A and B are shown apart, each in its own frame.
Chain A
Amino acid sequence: MRTLCLLLILFPAFAGAEEAAQNSPLAEGKQRFETHCGICHSLALPKSQRLDRATWKWVIDDMVNEFGAVWLTAEDQRLILEYVVKHYGPE
């Protein structure tokens, strides 16, 4: 099997996935964003973007379908999408 290289940065955000269940959808989205979107590349990359919903959806689809973020559930993707659209939308 091909070995995939993955950068594992242990963010404090990993902590408390338990409590997260009670969070608001946006807070939950933030947590999942910070947990998953800084693993392969640093979070600086998504944070540098200012994209509309359609483009963010395109980006997240690519992460899952092209680049190997296959573990992201539909729920993860939906929550992350809502979060990035809100916080990293067009100025």
Chain B
Amino acid sequence: MKKEPRKLDRDRLRGILEDNGGSPEDLERFNEYMSRRGFLRRTGVIAALAGMGAGAEVTLQRLFGQGLIPVGWAAEAETKAIASKPDMIIHNDRPVNGEFSPHLLDDNITPSPRHFVRNNGLTPQRAKNKDPQGWELAIDGEINTPLKLTLDDLKKMPAITKSLLIECGGNGRGNFVPKVRGNPWDRGAVACSEWTGVPLKEILNRAGLKSSAIYTAHYGEDPPIGAAPPFSRGIPIDKAMEEHTLVAYKMNGKDLEALNGYPVRLVVPGWIGSCSQKWLNRIWIRDQVHDSNKMTGYSYRVPAYPVVPGSRPPKTDMVIATSWVIKSLITRPAANTRIDIGKTFKVRGHAWAGENQVDSVYISTDYGLNWTKAVLTQPRNQYAWYTFETELAFKGKGYYEIWARAVDNQGVTQPARQPWNPKGYLGNVIHRVPVLVGV
């Protein structure tokens, strides 16, 4: 039997929202969203509304019945935020996740519009409005004096400026075989911008760490999606007290980009990016290893031993992923560049090594049979990426690959294939850049 579908118009939607406990604030936002001129037509929402049948209403009621409040109006605003990163390859626009092609990461100091974005939740309204009013950083837990710092308070404290590398723990995930779940990052979820801020240790010293303090737990003001708990990770106290771990309020000399954590974020260089909490507003000092959902189970954890590719070891065999490992990125030439036979050209790129130093970078054009050493330039401070450069020319026509392999000061190098892990963290296989010669 076919029922006459009941039309779900704006008023009915609002009614459902109201009936299911939408707060006045939610209703306000709903009205604002729905009344924005031209919006409905532009996105086809009105067509959807007009066509929605009783089934749709049931779906919506189920959603609202769970206490879920629509904030769909945020989607449009995320689009606006993404516009600040014009060259970004978007994996996901909500939450925003995007990276840059390696050839766009050639600068020694990554310009802000080319700093990758890995969001777990939505971009906070404050960040979009660039409004520091009411922002505070709370420090609590295993300390003698709980602190609440405003942006002005922070700016009065001694600050340092450093070039610091941040890399998403999942950068390189797309190269794992078999494929793993999560944003399929290629190689561009890494950046080395210039960050200005207060070393976290200055703040913790002011608060006075108790001897029971062993770990941090970071929180930010980004609204989680769905019923996900607030995104929160932490680091051991030693890393928190390391002088390059910053509570940063400037990125390349300016306010932080909305998508990169305005007004304040942590920068925990050398460690997987999720340690560098964005839109930071609380650091809880703990007397145990932080145990949020992003510190336990399979999140940001890797098997304690090599596992069968495609298998899932028990949670108890997973350990927290911490610092990055030796890695390099070829930024010149770009993939698929056409090169004339015999023409000398530059190969350039960056290398970095987590907590270690980069010792050398080697280049191969014959699938790793022969390697030649590139010229390596030291970074201006620890945790910034090194730059390598060399010149090459191809004698004959064809398809070639330029490979780069970095070696750290412990003698550890990048593999061609690496042990698989269920969520594809810490991918560091050799970067291969295809070029076409004389064709």
A-contacting residues, B197-228, CB 8 Å: 223-228
Question: A39 — which chain B residues lie within 8 A by C-beta?
Answer: 63, 226
> In the assembly, what is the distance between CA of A16 and CA of B47, in Å?
13
Please tell me if the beta carbons of A3 and B69 are within 8 angstroms of each other in the complex.
yes
Smallest CB separation, A27 vs chain B (Å): 15
At the interface, yes or no: A1 with Cβ under 8 Å from chain B?
Answer: yes
Please tell me if the beta carbons of B228 and A66 are within 8 angstroms of each other in the complex.
yes
Please tell me if the beta carbons of B55 and A3 are within 8 angstroms of each other in the complex.
no
Query: A-facing mask of B165-177, CB < 8 A → 1, else 0?
Result: 0000000000000
Contact of A42 with B54 at beta-carbon distance under 8 Å, contacts A7-B225, A51-B179, A71-B66 already known: no
Question: B59 — which chain A residues lie within 8 A by C-beta?
Answer: 14, 17, 35-36
Which of the segments B180-188, B300-308, B331-339, B367-375 contacts the partner chain? B180-188
Please tell me if the beta carbons of A71 and B122 are within 8 angstroms of each other in the complex.
no
Please tell me if the beta carbons of B226 and A69 are within 8 angstroms of each other in the complex.
yes
> In the assembly, what is the distance between CA of A69 and CA of B52, in Å?
21
Closest to A15 in B: B51
At the interface, yes or no: B241 with Cβ under 8 Å from chain A?
Answer: no
B-contacting residues, A16-49, CB 8 Å: 16-18, 20, 35-36, 39-42, 44-45, 48-49
Smallest CB separation, A8 vs chain B (Å): 3
State the interface size on chain A (CB cutoff 8 A).
43
State the interface size on chain B (CB cutoff 8 A).
54
At the interface, yes or no: A74 with Cβ under 8 Å from chain B?
Answer: no
Please tell me if the beta carbons of B52 and A18 are within 8 angstroms of each other in the complex.
no
Smallest CB separation, B24 vs chain A (Å): 12
Select which of B65, B184, B227 is within 8 A of A48 by beta carbon: B184
Please tell me if the beta carbons of A67 and B47 are within 8 angstroms of each other in the complex.
no
Contact of A5 with B184 at beta-carbon distance under 8 Å, contacts A48-B91, A52-B310 already known: no
> In the assembly, what is the distance between CA of A36 and CA of B178, in Å?
27
Please tell me if the beta carbons of A10 and B45 are within 8 angstroms of each other in the complex.
yes
Query: B-facing mask of A40-75, CB < 8 A → 1, else 0?
Result: 111011001111101100110001001111110000
> In the assembly, what is the distance between CA of A16 and CA of B178, in Å?
37
Closest to B55 in A: A17
Query: A-facing mask of B65-82, CB < 8 A → 1, else 0?
Result: 111111110110000000
At the interface, yes or no: B148 with Cβ under 8 Å from chain A?
Answer: no
Contact of A58 with B67 at beta-carbon distance under 8 Å, contacts A3-B23, A17-B53, A17-B59 already known: no
Smallest CB separation, A16 vs chain B (Å): 6
Question: B15 — which chain A residues lie within 8 A by C-beta?
Answer: none
Please tell me if the beta carbons of A50 and B179 are within 8 angstroms of each other in the complex.
yes
Please tell me if the beta carbons of A42 and B93 are within 8 angstroms of each other in the complex.
yes
Please tell me if the beta carbons of B55 and A5 are within 8 angstroms of each other in the complex.
no
Please tell me if the beta carbons of B51 and A5 are within 8 angstroms of each other in the complex.
no
Please tell me if the beta carbons of B44 and A18 are within 8 angstroms of each other in the complex.
no
Tell me which of B26, B55, B226, B293 has the highest count of chain A C-beta atoms within 10 A of its own C-beta. B226
Please tell me if the beta carbons of A4 and B66 are within 8 angstroms of each other in the complex.
yes
Smallest CB separation, B273 vs chain A (Å): 18
- Chain A interface (Cβ within 8 Å of chain B)? 1-12, 14-18, 20, 35-36, 39-42, 44-45, 48-52, 54-55, 58-59, 63, 66-71, 90
25 example contacts (A-B, Cβ-Cβ < 8 A) are as follows A1-B21, A4-B66, A4-B69, A7-B71, A7-B75, A8-B60, A10-B45, A10-B72, A14-B53, A14-B56, A16-B55, A17-B53, A17-B55, A20-B55, A35-B59, A41-B92, A42-B94, A48-B183, A54-B312, A55-B181, A66-B228, A67-B228, A68-B226, A68-B228, A71-B63
- Chain B interface (Cβ within 8 Å of chain A)? 2-3, 5, 21, 23, 26, 44-45, 47-49, 51-56, 58-60, 62-63, 65-72, 74-75, 90-95, 122, 178-181, 183-184, 223-228, 293, 310, 312
Q: Top 6 nearest A-B pairs by Cβ distance? A: A17-B55, A68-B227, A8-B70, A14-B56, A40-B226, A8-B72
**9 new A-B pairs (CB below 8 Å) besides A14-B48, A18-B3, A52-B310?**
A18-B54, A40-B225, A42-B94, A44-B91, A48-B92, A51-B179, A54-B312, A63-B226, A90-B178
